[in-house]
Amino acid sequence: MASNSNKQLFQAEPVLLANSVTVLKKRYLRKKESGQVETPKDLFIRVAKNIAEAELKFDSNADVDSVADIFYTQMASLKFLPNSPTLMNAGNALQQLSACFVLPVEDSLEGIFEAVKYTALIHKSGGGTGFSFSRLRPKDDSVKTTKGVSSGPVSFMSVFDAATETIKQGGMRRGANMGILRVDHPDIIEFIYAKQDKTKLTNFNLSVGITEEFMKSVKNGTDYDLLTPRDRKKTGSKNAKEVFNEMVRLAWEGGDPGIIFLDRINNANPTPAEGEMESTNPCGEQPLLPYESCNLGSINLVQFVKNGKIDWDDLRNTCRIAVRFLDNVIEMNNYPIKQIDEMTKKNRKIGLGIMGWADMLVMLNIPYNSDKAISLAEEVMKFIRDEGRKMSVELAEQRGSFPGFDKSIYPGLGFKAMRNATITTIAPTGTISIIAGASSGIEPYFALAYYRNVMDNNKLPEVNPYFLEKAHEGKFYSESLMNKLAEAGNAHNLTEVPEDIRKVFVTSHEIEPVWHVKMQAAFQKYTDNAVSKTVNFQNSATIEDVEKAYMLAYDLGCKGITIYRDGSRSGQVLNIGSVKEEKPVETVVTVPAKPKERPAILIGKTIEKTTGCGKMYVTINQDVDGKVFEVFTSIGKAGGCAQSQAEAIGRLISLNLRSGVEPEFIIRQLKGISCHTPHGFGSQRILSCADAVGKALEEAINNPLNVQVVRNDSITVDSLLADIDKKAGKQVMSNGACPECGAPVEYIEGCLTCQSCGYSKCS
């Protein structure tokens, strides 16, 4: 091994924030052979040395130490960081360095459980998995070998979910999955509703695979064909707009399903001869062929803003080093199964992305929700893609093209060789952005300040450092203002803050969804793979708002879209104003010792619901103040089991209502309960008798007697409490507080995540 022994290596000292060190200690730093725990510098040296060893595979005289020093300097200066598995495992016994995998699920019992086995191996090694279940025959389809019928793809997804739940990834990370079903699969409605019950498929993000034919039918209001997976023959049809509306409504209710545009993804497939792309990784930014993996890394844009301008030369240098680093990772990776090793090395996909985008914008005094920001997004991403491709071409001249390279796929670019089938991906970055002290991916700020719990239950405002700097520069800093900022989370209504500063320092819920989608589309324009971006909606957003975002994403050329309406996931805790507890905040309902007496006269209505057990009649009475007071239910014959259970549910609901419990709490408990005989589809689907009562009660309070109906949206506890606190002048962060550091948590990467300390509900 050649080495430059005269050069002093690894001289740069990492400069890390306290949060960065906390995350590194908690998740990344390893014990050395001496028994001591490595320092952050040790970690970067370990990773740099390990990845640099790949140079010897291409040049036996390579100066590995010098290359390692270059890699180390990029990481220590926080200009570039690879994905978490590389930081965790490079130079260790596991040596599994990829975050993203896609596995095929074949239409046989053997094929399904082989995929489950491979999933377990990948999760054990620290990776996440994506699947398309579109090859599986639909529910009730015949199975020749057993003379029985299929239970359908949704039922088999629960097997993968259960396997994931039992496996802890390398002792560090809980597994995550993406489940995709084509929109033309006969079981598409069941798939759309698969996560309406939030206790099901908790380790899955779901996306519907959308075709061009389907989107044309949506716009024209016509039917589209449902096709059997076996031979792609027509087996039925559905109205495209009705199916689309159900997708939108369920996403509005709880975030799932998202959508990916399958035809658009495959039109950009750089290796069509190798197969068709069916799925993505768990966060949706990495479309992959079956058995492919991808190695991701992100450039920290914060480090390239100097004196109010972007240092393009320095950014070019980091792009080149990052591409070399990621190509080396492919060689050094210990893949969990043979097929993944072969397919990954055949196409050599890498995914170079960014983090710190929101930081870069405020450093340049550009509002996130502006045309100037959209133009800069295109400029920055085009530069990174073009410089990355140039480096990949150079590497191909030195090391050879990826085996599946076809120059006809790159018309007009004149590439005679290419080392990597793809170069760029926009990932959400997660904990590596905390290590880098940067905002996550291309997301805007979630909050400008929040309260952090310190000793003796004191609370101190934690303020965005760039806002703090502007406050001191502009001489509008005060402790009182910082406390107000922590109370509100944003500066929108803080008149002490100059208007131009308020416009630049916008937070996610201040930004109209259209700007979220525009930003995603701007980055997608120059991204080889796809873009991870959550389009955030306020709790008050309507179903129509979500529909507009979905259609805009399609019209602007996105490869998919994921939305999240604040507070729409059941089981979340409320975080109102300055209430930041170490433990989740529980809502306490004080119940009187004795229920209210029943008045002699009540008024009410009876709602009919068709369940799997037959027709149910739910009578809901209200008092003179218009409040729901009691519930009677009837189903089947008197004395029958179904009727006795229904009567018991009604009595218990009535007791709670007369004891002061708000109906919304009862609805939350009943809706989503499933039994073995659900009935109906779409908005009329009833999962069980209990679900029917919950939905009838919800209809009653949304459409009270003698009150004009103004909307059909579901009233939730979160929105109810939000209205109360808005009247009190407090900001609602209905995703809740981090149980570890007290900072607000936000919904990214398909999971509630704390950007302060790295806590994730999925970890």
- The structure tokens 């506890």 sit at 717
SS (H, E, C) 55-69: HHHCCCCCEHHHHHH
Q: What angle, rounded to 10 degrees, do the helices at 40-52 and 18-27 form? A: 60
Q: Are strands 177-182 and 204-210 parallel, antiparallel or unpaired?
A: parallel
**Are 179 and 131 within 8 A, CB to CB?**
yes
Q: What is the spatial distance between Cα 251 and Cα 208, in angstroms, rounded to a whole number?
A: 11
Task: List Cα–Cα distances, 500 to 430, 442, 491, 497, in angstroms.
Answer: 30, 22, 11, 8
Q: Which two tokens stand for residue 202?
A: 């908790």
List strand residue ranges (DSSP E) for 526-636, in order: 534-537, 560-565, 575-576, 603-611, 614-622, 628-635
Vertex 197: Cα angle to 192 and 201 (nearest 5): 75
414 φ/ψ sector (left φ>0, alpha ψ -120 to 50, else beta): left
Active site residues: 281, 283, 285
State the DSSP H helix or E strand holding residue 667, giving kind and residue range, or none if neither: helix 663-670
Beta bridge partners of residue 630, listed in sequence order:
621
Q: What angle, rounded to 10 degrees, do the helices at 64-76 and 312-332 form? A: 120
Identify the sign of the CA torsion 563, 266, 283, 329: negative
454 by Cβ neighbours in 10 Å (0-12 / 13-18 / 19+) ranks as exposed
Q: Phi/psi of residue 204, each to 5°?
A: -120, 140
**Are 697 and 628 within 8 A, CB to CB?**
yes
Q: Are strands 279-280 and 287-288 parallel, antiparallel or unpaired?
A: antiparallel
291 φ/ψ sector (left φ>0, alpha ψ -120 to 50, else beta): left
**Are 543 and 563 within 8 A, CB to CB?**
no
Contacting residues for 269 by C-beta, under 8 A, at least 6 apart: 276, 277, 287
Q: What is the spatial distance between Cα 99 and Cα 281, in angstroms, rounded to a whole number?
A: 8
**Are 568 and 668 within 8 A, CB to CB?**
no
Q: What is the spatial distance between Cα 447 and Cα 114, in angstroms, rounded to a whole number?
A: 44
Beta bridge partners of residue 599, listed in sequence order:
none
**Are 620 and 628 within 8 A, CB to CB?**
yes
Q: Phi/psi of residue 472, each to 5°?
A: -70, -45
For 517, half-sphere exposure in the C-beta direction (CA atoms, 13 angstrom radius) is 24
Q: What angle, rounded to 10 degrees, do the helices at 40-52 and 64-76 form? A: 140
State the DSSP H helix or E strand holding residue 247, giving kind and residue range, or none if neither: helix 240-254
Quickly count: other Cβ atoms within 10 Å of residue 36's Cβ: 9
Q: Is 233 helix (H, G, I), strand (E, B) or coil?
A: coil
**Are 100 and 127 within 8 A, CB to CB?**
yes
Nearest Cα neighbor of 154 from 129, 176, 178, 179 is 179
